[in-house]
Amino acid sequence: MWIRSRKWLLALVVGALMPVMIGGGEAAASAAPVCDPGGTGQRSAADPAAVKIKVWLAGDSTMADPRTSCPVGWGNQFGPLFTGDVTVVNNAVAGRSVQTWLYESNVQSTMDSGGECVVSPKTYAQRWTSMLDPVNGMKAGDYLFIQFGINDGSRTCPRHVGPARYQELLGVMVKAAKDRGVRPVLLTPVAAITCSGATAVGNRGFLTETMAAGRAAQVPVIDLHKLSYTLYNSLKLCPNDGDYTRGPVGAFFCADHTHFEAAGARQIAGVVAKAVRDQKIPLASYLR
């Protein structure tokens, strides 16, 4: 009799506590931080402090840091658009094709039987070997932005690069980055200002090759070519009589139709940053 009474009392106590236990569990579940299973890169307030990363840039004069007051590459204006968790390392160099950027003086002035510039010896330039260095170079979680295609269309060596070779070399850079856990982003070449009446139009090559390289490697491609001449149209930089020294065109470009004043470079950098956000590239979570 005593044992049955004790069991009855225990059941009564457990029954009274069950709603509290269940309610407490629900409250704990609702208060738990939400993770990011979709991999969008958006950080929640419950996440720890952001890991510091580097954004490495490889390209030509339209991306490079300035050596004089003009030109200024858009890469020079990219860093201020990010939080302090990001450092931009600008290794773009004026006058380079993707091949001369990679191999520098090893690219000869003669062509082989296939119409490509001879590369001998096939050793990388210091800038690329430094980026590949396991101690001081690119690390897992970093980004590599690659933009060529302006100088590559030269008919003569050493800058000449054929379409297939161009795509191949982009693939080489992308693979090297991915092998290190680095996230590559390809960009089509930024447009010069070319007017057809009152409309700014495209004027660069290697667009399909850049897109194809991105698809082959399954990495993002920012169509900076289209985005840049779309910007020129929004700013009404056309029509233009060929004088690039005055008015809105003079404020945007150097005394040519290709290179940027600091103000122009800043706007192109903003276009790239917006594309990063619009295309949901995880780096967007570090933008200001």
Structural domain harbouring 99: 53-191+204-226+280-284
Model pLDDT for residues 165-194, shown as the tens digit of each residue: 999 999 999 999 999 999 999 999 999 999
Read off the pLDDT of each residue in 69-96 and give the average, rounded to a whole number.
Answer: 98
Indicate whether 91 belongs to any domain.
yes
CATH of the domain at 93: 3.40.50.1110
Indicate whether 19 belongs to any domain.
no
Indicate whether 161 belongs to any domain.
yes
Model pLDDT for residues 215-236, shown as the tens digit of each residue: 999 999 999 999 999 999 999 9
Q: Is the pTM of this model over 0.85?
A: no
Indicate whether 125 belongs to any domain.
yes
Say how far apart CA 156 and CA 178 lie, in whole Å.
32
pLDDT score of 196 more than 80: yes
Q: What is the residue-averaged pLDDT of the chain?
A: 87
Residue 78's alpha-carbon distances to 46, 50, 55, 286, in angstroms, are: 28, 19, 10, 12
Indicate whether 48 belongs to any domain.
no
Indicate whether 237 belongs to any domain.
no
Number of domains in the chain: 1
Model pLDDT for residues 39-68, shown as the tens digit of each residue: 444 444 334 456 899 999 999 999 999 999
Indicate whether 38 belongs to any domain.
no
Q: What percent of the chain has pLDDT over 90?
A: 82
Read off the pLDDT of each residue in 8-12 and give the average, rounded to a whole number.
Answer: 40
Read off the pLDDT of each residue in 228-245 and give the average, rounded to a whole number.
Answer: 95
Say how far apart CA 152 and CA 287 lie, in whole Å.
31
Indicate whether 81 belongs to any domain.
yes
Say how far apart CA 113 and CA 116 lie, in whole Å.
7
